[in-house]
Structures are given as C-alpha cells and as structure tokens.
Chains A and B, each alone.
Chain A
C-alpha cells in the first residue's frame, strides 16, 4: 500500500493556459474523489468516480473542468483556459466500496497539487 499519489505537486501557469493533474489511488480502491481547497477553507467536493464511471459532479465543476478515469485506475483532472480564481490545492482521495455496498471505508487523501495561476 503506497498511498494515494498526485502529480505534479506544484504547478504554476499563466491565465488562459490548460493544465492537467494526475491522481493514482490506492491500488484496490474503486472510488476516487476530487476536491478543491482554497486558502483558509476546508476542501470542497468537485467530482467522484466508481471505477471508470463518473457518478457525480459538483456545481463547482464548470465547463472548463473535465475529469476522467479511463481504466478505473488513475484519474486526470483537466482545467482549460485557467483563471486566477482556479488557484487552489486540488486534492484526490480514494476509498473502497465492496460488492454488497458495505459502507465501512474511509477516504484516504493524496498530498495534493497546488495550482497557481498568474
């Protein structure tokens, strides 16, 4: 168990550029979540996946944001035409839900990707 990993850890970009972040969950985890955390705030939910299916998207996820989990393993979060308001820490978390829907598992978080839009 190597934990949840995220890449890159830091990203600085100019307004209007596109950026893509990657999240690798704990290997046996079938649920993957993306959260955004701005300075001084708690994380806010963006979207989540069960295997490769995207189950829910927050109203925070504008049309410029897209997330994928093509093979049910790693996930990518892309932001197109970045704006200064997109500057935040983007957190990924994973968990496991068994076939009977047994709800016992905790979400484990990665270290995050800090995005700065100039």
Chain B
C-alpha cells in the first residue's frame, strides 16, 4: 500500500523568508501524481501545486516550488517570500494514475511570524 510521511508536525518561518516542508512516500508504481494541499483555518482544502512523476522538471507556482527526487521518493515544498496568508496546515498527497483516491500525509502546521 502507498504511504505518505510528513516528518515535521510543525514549522515556523519569518515573514518574507523561505521555508521548506518535507514529504516522503512509498510506492511500487512508476507513474503517479504528487500534490501539496493547503488547509487554512477555515478548513477548505486548496491545491497548491502538483507534480507528475514522469516529468523530471520540478513544478513551480509563483512563490511555491517543489524538489521532486523520484529515486529517493522525496517531494518537498519550498515557499519563498512567506506571507502571513501562508499560515495553514500543508498536506502532501499521492495518487496512482486514473484519477484514483488521494493518500495523504498527516500534515505540517506552518506558522508565519510577522
């Protein structure tokens, strides 16, 4: 079974600084998708960024980028120029091909300090 591990229950970052959230996963599949979702205190899950495993290029979305290391099964999220609105729970998620259910990690709570 696929598993997703987020080893940092909590992280904090100063406003305007950069922070990296870690995620590792376990799968025997060669093609799959990885996601980072953000869940603010209002609790609606929002997609931050996605990565297709067959693409070697790391995905980027404005201030958010990933470091995808397929061989190491590692998928970290880097947030640059952190803003107060970035404070939230961040979940790493995996799914197989075919629009199948997501497997989530336990999350990392990110605090942004003004």
Asked whether, in the complex, the Cβ of B47 is within 8 Å of the Cβ of A111, the reply is no
Asked whether, in the complex, the Cβ of A43 is within 8 Å of the Cβ of B45, the reply is yes
Asked whether any CB of chain B lies closer than 8 Å to the CB of A22, the reply is no
Asked whether, in the complex, the Cβ of B44 is within 8 Å of the Cβ of A112, the reply is yes
Q: How large is the interface on A (under 10, 10 to 19, 20 to 34, 35 or more residues)?
A: 20 to 34
Q: If the complex has contacts A41-B106, A41-B107, A42-B91, are A33 and B44 also in contact, measured as CB distance less than 8 A?
A: no
Q: If the complex has contacts A106-B50, A108-B47, are A56 and B101 also in contact, measured as CB distance less than 8 A?
A: yes
**Chain A proximity of B93: nearest CB distance (Å):** 8
Asked whether, in the complex, the Cβ of A43 is within 8 Å of the Cβ of B43, the reply is no
**Chain B proximity of A4: nearest CB distance (Å):** 9
Asked whether any CB of chain B lies closer than 8 Å to the CB of A109, the reply is yes
Asked whether, in the complex, the Cβ of A42 is within 8 Å of the Cβ of B99, the reply is no
**Chain B proximity of A11: nearest CB distance (Å):** 15
**Chain A proximity of B8: nearest CB distance (Å):** 13
Name A27-53 residues within 8 Å CB distance of B: 31, 33, 35, 40-45, 48
Asked whether, in the complex, the Cβ of B44 is within 8 Å of the Cβ of A111, the reply is yes
Asked whether, in the complex, the Cβ of B102 is within 8 Å of the Cβ of A45, the reply is yes
Cα(A38)–Cα(B17), bound, Å: 31
